[in-house]
Amino acid sequence: MSTFEAIAAKVRSAQRISTDEALTLFGSNDLLAIGELAALANEHKNGRNVFFNVNRHINPTNICVNRCAFCAFSRTSGEEGAYTLALDEICRRAGEAQDEGATEVHIVGGLHPDLPFEYYEEVLRAIRTAAPRLHIKAFTAVEIDYFARISGNSIQQVLERLKTAGLGSMPGGGAEILVEEVRQKICPEKIPGQRWLEIIRLAHRDGLKTNATMLYGHVETHADRVAHMDMLRRLQDDTCGFQAFIPLAFQPENSDLKLDIKGTSGLDDLKTLAIARIFLDNFDHIKAYWVMLGEKIAQVSLAFGVNDLDGTVVEEKIGHDAGAPSPQSLSKEGIISLIRKAGRIPVERDTLYRPLRVF
């Protein structure tokens, strides 16, 4: 196995590290040394700029047939707290976001047992009419697979129809940990990891950019995290369609995964973000999602290889239903100040990472 010094030499000369080497980094407790390497890898790509965008999350329904064990957001139809937003309400929220300066809506929801595929096309069309300036980033690979099943369409047909209705790109959810043994424990009803990768490959081939997430801090091992990132790195070598990698720290409250844990540690969060920056040499952006990390760790992560902060959000349900202690939203000024105080340059971007304004 490589020593830390051998790995450091590779990172300094911009060479790719192996899965074994990533595991060595996970086994090390020298967080600052790992962070320094990640910061270097990031500086090569992004200098001192840190991206953020102004967006709003809308979750049209929390009714979901999958009921993943880690998910505190989903409900069964008829259960207390189950909801489905009316199209008018979705449009109202999108319009409000546009008026307040957002450039993106982020739309994901449960796999509803009764709504037809046409409903989701309607959602996109209605947003496009109500808020034509917003980029619509919507639907995970898990939802796309479900739409294909309920409509009898192929994945390609579903993607084409959604693009026609206004889909601009896709978020990175549903990946969880792509290793099958882990999925069997945390989300047995969800599509297999290989299917997630297949759908993302088709989306990339179709010209859609996507993100990739990793839900960590539950039953998975370090080897599982590395295997997950390796699958993403291989796909990215083929397609170049991923924009950002977003590690999601597991929030344990109200979830059916009865683990004796209080959530991830700050050390694990920073180490995971830093190793992701080092290992995923073909990803341009590593995004800290402050909703799951908390504002303070998100800010510190900017010295550990992270170059993208998500976002202003406004209202978030998935993490907060699971007990995330972070606030519901961060103002644009709040994000700018957080980046500035970390000694970096805040750059507002659009969904496709075109700079809109340097602060």
> Footprint of ligand SF4 on this chain (CB under 6 A)?
64, 66-68, 71, 73-74, 110-111, 142, 187, 190
Sign of CA dihedral 263, 211, 169, 143: negative
Paired residues of 57 in beta bridges: 106
Least distance in angstroms from the C-beta of 175 to ligand SF4: 11
Question: Based on the number of CB atoms within 10 Å of its own CB, is 79 exposed (0-12), middle (13-18) or buried (19 or more)?
Answer: exposed
- The residue count of the chain comes to 359
The least distance separating ligand SF4 from the CB of residue 110, rounded to whole angstroms, comes to 4
List the single partner that 319 binds among ligand V47, ligand SF4, none, CB under 5 to 8 Å by kind: ligand V47
Rule CB under 6 A: say whether 308 interacts with ligand V47.
no
The least CB distance from residue 113 to ligand V47, in Å, is: 19
Question: What does DSSP assign to residue 303?
Answer: G
Q: 187 or 202, CB closer to ligand SF4?
A: 187
How near is the Cβ of 251 to ligand SF4 at its closest, in Å? 12
Tokens (6 digits) for 243: 């924009």
Taking the CA of residue 219 as centre, how many other CA atoms within 13 Å lie in the half-sphere pointing to its CB? 17
- With CB under 5 to 8 Å by kind, the binding choice for 248 among ligand SF4, ligand V47, none is ligand V47
Q: Which is nearer to ligand V47, 6 or 261 (CB)?
A: 261
> Residue with the closest Cβ to ligand V47?
173
CA distance 101 to 312: 11
Closest distance between ligand V47 and the C-beta of residue 252, in Å?
Answer: 7
| Binding track over 268-307 against ligand V47, x by CB under 6 A | ---------------------x--x---------------
Q: Which residue number, 17 or 339, has a Cβ lying nearer to ligand V47?
A: 339
For the CB of residue 206, give the shortest distance to ligand SF4 in the complex, in Å: 22
Minimum CB–partner distance for residue 190 and ligand SF4 (Å)? 6
Residue whose CB is less far from ligand SF4, 110 or 346: 110
In this structure, are residues 197 and 234 in contact, taking their beta carbons and an 8 Å threshold?
no
Are the beta carbons of 335 and 52 closer than 8 angstroms? yes
Q: Which of 35, 166, 174, 241 binds ligand V47 (CB under 6 A)?
A: 174
Piece of 123-131, 167-175, 201-209, 333-341 that binds ligand V47 (CB under 6 A): 167-175
326 near 291, Cβ under 8 Å? yes
User: Which among 243, 261, 250 is positioned nearest to 291, based on CA atoms?
Assistant: 250
Instruction: Kindly tell me which residue out of 21, 121, 145, 176 binds ligand V47, with binding defined by CB under 6 A.
Output: 176
Q: Does 70 bind ligand V47 (CB under 6 A)?
A: yes
**List 162, 322, 339, 347, residue binding ligand V47 (CB under 6 A):** 322
Measured distance CA(85)–CA(13) in Å, rounded: 51
Residue 312 binds ligand V47, judged by CB under 6 A: no
Distances (CA, A) of 147 to 110, 114, 207, 302: 12, 12, 19, 37
Of positions 104, 143, 308, 310, contacts ligand V47 by CB under 6 A: 310
DSSP 106-146: EE-----SS--HHHHHHHHHHHHHH-TTSEEEE--HHHHHH
Please, what sign has the CA dihedral across residues 113, 201, 247, 188?
positive
Separation CA 121–CA 136 (nearest Å): 12
Q: Residue 66 binds which one of ligand SF4, ligand V47, none, with CB within 5 to 8 A depending on kind?
A: ligand SF4
Binding positions for ligand V47, rule: CB under 6 A: 70-72, 108, 171-174, 176, 211, 213, 215, 246, 248, 250-251, 255, 289, 292, 310, 318-319, 322
